[in-house]
Amino acid sequence: MNKYTLLFCLYLFSTISAIGQNYKNPVIPGFYPDPSICRVGDDFYLVNSTFEYFPGVPIHHSKDLINWQPIGHCLTRTSQLPLDKCGPSGGIYAPTLRHHEGIFYMVTTNVTNRGNFIVFSKNITGPWSEPAWIDVDGIDPSLYFEDGKCYLTVNPNNTIYLYEINPITGKLLSEGKAIWQGTGGRYPEGPHIYKKDDWYYLLISEGGTEYGHNITIARSKHIDGPYESNPANPILTHVGMNAQLNPIQGTGHGDLIQAPDGSWWMVCLAFRPQSGLHHVLGRETFLAPVRWDENAWPVINGDGTIDLEMDAPTLPLQPFVPLPTMNDFNEDTPGYEWNYLRNPNPEDYSLTERPGYLRLKGTDITLDYIDSPTFIARRQQHINFAAGTAVEMGKAKAGDEAGITLYMNNNAHYDLYVEQTRDKEQKVVLRYKLGKMTHIANEITVPNGKICLSVQGGNNDYTFSYSTDGKKYITIDKMDTKYLSSETNGGFTGVYIGLYAVSPYKRSNSYADFDYFIYLPQD
């Protein structure tokens, strides 16, 4: 056998062995809720909601529905994503992504500012257009294209309405028609229309995005109804006895997709409770196989539940190179995993002023404000993880602080930081902010210079440590994960691990230099 035959055989073997493998859920872990998916040829693209974070609506790419790689965001400019004073879990709600005749469309709602809008782009990585605002109430807009027409579904007044729309201008071209209210569950939302064979299918979510969440479906021979409910509804839910011990809960908000091989799949959101019934990672993106039964209704993974370990044949797997665990800050711009709070002031961040360092310039906007503190963060994507950084204060004045934060929202965050003291010394401080309470767990005077800060995440606790030499770490305290959970704080987001800087002075020339950032998944 010559070299090429051998390589070909190896390739064939790897492809064949890849088909039929099981896969793990969630397929996109961490705060990636409200997934919407579309396919162009062999390429799948998926978007999620982002609320008060910037840039908005991350885009992932996949060849196999299981391995996903971040490739950008739809909303990268303040003009597309005004988030001024947007409260926690305001801003961008569920998006829908569709591709039609060479153009990608993303439709979503900025619940804090002007409501529903569409952006479009010829390329999935943008640049995406300015918003075309839609004069309609409700959330979770979706688009469906057919015969040169485009239809909008959206849910004002707890009812799914259908409109004809111009997807470029956002102008409504017809009166709205109420087409379904679901099966009686609260918050009928997340509607999507699909056509398969002779039927229009209307997929929605009901029950709210907590433990009662579920997915139902109706169908009609005509796009504007009447829609008949599937007698087997809900088609996906974890409220039943068959999922009472399932580590995945709150399954809902799905979108269907057909793969090039003809197989059908659903992406949906769900969460993973930890430390009792608390979830801190936010709502994540899951994948389920779909089959159509003899009466032409979709069946999700057999019994309408999903698992962490999925027992299902997959498309040929095409993994991507994972993100490195260590970020040396050697790039000139932050990677797609980094987010800001609301609309950031670009002058407060630099990766070029000191090559190999992330420089943050603190302002008097603290993490407690509904505003844009100097804060750049990535999602906590794993229940068990280790994260760390090393921070050096520059030209610091008394009261300047910089460090690492576990941030759920302005009312719930744990901060491990270096603070400049009045007498030109510094201290390491661990502070908990929970509602109206701010508690300093400990403060330790340390020598001037670079300080390493680390956080270890686990099921019940976060453990906070520091080091003055990068070798010997001293644990300061442990704090419960559950107080940062969605159950404790409400809202739709998950915990971020942030690097931040604050100064008591509105504008000073002080700064903090972060040497590296490590995020090590340990699930």
SS3 letters across 209-273: CCCCCEEEEEEECCCCCCCEECCCCCCEECCCHHHCCCCCEEEEEEEEEECCCCCEEEEEEEECC
Cβ burial of 441 (10 Å; 0-12, 13-18, 19+) is middle
Q: Which of 64, 189, 206, 401 binds ligand 6LW (CB under 6 A)?
A: 189
Name every residue whose Cβ is closer than 8 Å to that of residue 423 and which is 6 or more positions away in sequence: none
Asked if residue 33 binds ligand 6LW (CB under 6 A), the reply is yes
Return d(Cα 475, Cα 462) in angstroms, integer: 11
Q: Report residue 223 as tokens.
A: 């796009």
Enumerate residues 72-101 that contact ligand 6LW by CB under 6 A: 93-94
Residue in the shown chain whose Cβ atom is closest to ligand 6LW: 209
Residue 35 makes contact with ligand 6LW by CB under 6 A? no
CB of 217 to ligand 6LW, least distance (A): 16
Nearer to ligand 6LW (CB atom), residue 205 or residue 486: 205
The torsion of the CA quartet 26, 31, 34, 39, rounded to 10 degrees, works out to -60
Spatial CA neighbour of 165 closest among 157, 155, 156, 174: 174
DSSP string, 280-313: -S--EEEEEEEEE-TTS-EEETTTS---SEE-S-
Q: Is 192 in the site for ligand 6LW (CB under 6 A)?
A: no
Nearest approach in angstroms of CB 426 to ligand 6LW is 41
Contact 492, 209 (CB under 8 A): yes
Nearest-approach distance from CB 251 to ligand 6LW, in angstroms: 10
- Does 55 bind ligand 6LW (CB under 6 A)? Our answer is no
* Cβ burial, residue 471 (10 Å; 0-12/13-18/19+): exposed
- Distance, CA of 380 to CA of 343 (rounded, Å): 21
Nearer to ligand 6LW, 74 or 390 (CB): 74
139 binds ligand 6LW (CB under 6 A): yes
Tell me, by CB under 6 A, how many residues bind ligand 6LW.
Answer: 15
Query: Among 88, 138, 252, 273, which residue interacts with ligand 6LW (rule: CB under 6 A)?
Result: 252
Residue at 121: amino acid letter: S
Tell the smallest beta-carbon distance from residue 190 to ligand 6LW (Å): 4
Q: Under rule CB under 6 A, which residues in 194-223 are in contact with ligand 6LW?
A: 205, 209
As measured in angstroms, the least distance from the Cβ of 493 to ligand 6LW is 9
Nearer to ligand 6LW, 92 or 476 (CB): 92
Residue closer to ligand 6LW (CB basis): 393 or 495: 495
Which residues in 287-316 contact ligand 6LW (CB under 6 A)?
none
- Residues acting as catalytic residues: 34, 189
Of positions 34, 64, 206, 284, contacts ligand 6LW by CB under 6 A: 34
For the segment 470-499, give every residue that binds ligand 6LW (CB under 6 A).
Answer: 492
In the list 25, 36, 48, 49, the residue contacting ligand 6LW (rule: CB under 6 A) is 49
Residue 480 pairs in a beta bridge with 461
Given the DSSP bridges, would you call strands 401-409 and 160-164 parallel, antiparallel or unpaired? unpaired
140 vs 255 by CB, closer to ligand 6LW: 140
Q: Which of 192, 219, 238, 253 binds ligand 6LW (CB under 6 A)?
A: 253
If phi over 0 gives left and psi between -120 and 50 gives alpha, with beta otherwise, what is residue 126?
left
Footprint on residues 265-284 left by ligand 6LW (CB under 6 A): 269
Smallest separation (angstroms) from ligand 6LW to the CB of 171: 23
Question: Would you state the torsion angle of the CA atoms of residues 128, 134, 138, 143, taken in this order, to the nearest 10 degrees?
Answer: -60
- Closest to ligand 6LW by CB, 110 vs 389, is 110
State the minimum distance, in angstroms, from the CB of residue 143 to ligand 6LW. Answer: 16
- Residue closer to ligand 6LW by CB (options 269, 453) is 269
- Please select the residue that binds ligand 6LW; options are 55, 141, 190, 254, rule is CB under 6 A: 190
- Rounded Cα distance between 333 and 344, Å, is 14
User: Which CB atom, from 201 or from 357, has the smaller least distance to ligand 6LW?
Assistant: 201
CB of 206 to ligand 6LW, least distance (A): 10
Q: ∠136-142-143 over CA atoms, to 5°?
A: 100
In 262-420 the beta strands, taken as DSSP E runs, fall at 264-271, 284-292, 298-300, 309-310, 326-327, 340-341, 349-350, 358-360, 374-379, 385-394, 401-409, 412-420
The dihedrals phi and psi of 426, each to the nearest 5 degrees, come to: -135, 160
Query: What are the residues binding ligand 6LW (CB under 6 A)?
Result: 33-34, 49, 93-94, 139-140, 189-190, 205, 209, 252-253, 269, 492
